[in-house]
Amino acid sequence: MRSILRGTAAGMGAAALLWGATACTGGEEEPAAAESSSSQQGGGSPGEDAQPSDGGGETRFSDAELDAASQRFLDLLQVIDDHDWESACGMVLDPTTGSAPEGERLQDCVDGVEPVFAAQAELLEPGAFDALDASMIQASDNGDGTVSLSVLGNDLDIPMAPGDDGRWYLVIPF
Pick from 172, 170, 145, 152: nearest CA to 160: 170
Q: Quick: pLDDT tens for 89-123.
A: 999 999 889 999 999 999 988 888 888 777 776 66
pLDDT at 12: 57
How far is residue 69's CA from residue 106's CA, in Å, rounded to a whole number? 21
All residues at 6 or more sequence positions from 91 whose CB lies less than 8 Å from its CB, including other chains: 72, 75, 76, 79, 100, 168, 169, 170
pLDDT at 144: 93
Mean of per-residue pLDDT scores for the chain = 73
| Averaged pLDDT, 23-34 | 43
Question: Per-residue confidence at 139, pLDDT binned at 50, 70, 90?
Answer: very high
| Averaged pLDDT, 46-72 | 69
pLDDT at 40: 37
pLDDT at 122: 67
Q: Which of 114-118, 137-141, 143-147, 164-168 has the lowest mean pLDDT?
A: 114-118
**pTM exceeding 0.85:** no
Q: Residue 34's Cα: distance from chain center in Å?
A: 13
All residues at 6 or more sequence positions from 145 whose CB lies less than 8 Å from its CB, including other chains: 33, 34, 35, 46, 58, 161
* Predicted confidence (pLDDT) at residue 86 exceeds the cutoff of 60: yes
Question: Per-residue confidence at 133, pLDDT binned at 50, 70, 90?
Answer: confident
How far is residue 174's CA from residue 29's CA, in Å, rounded to a whole number? 7
**CA atoms within 13 Å, Cβ hemisphere of 96:** 11
Q: Is the alpha carbon torsion for 42, 46, 52, 56 positive or negative?
A: positive
Contact 134, 70 (CB under 8 A): yes
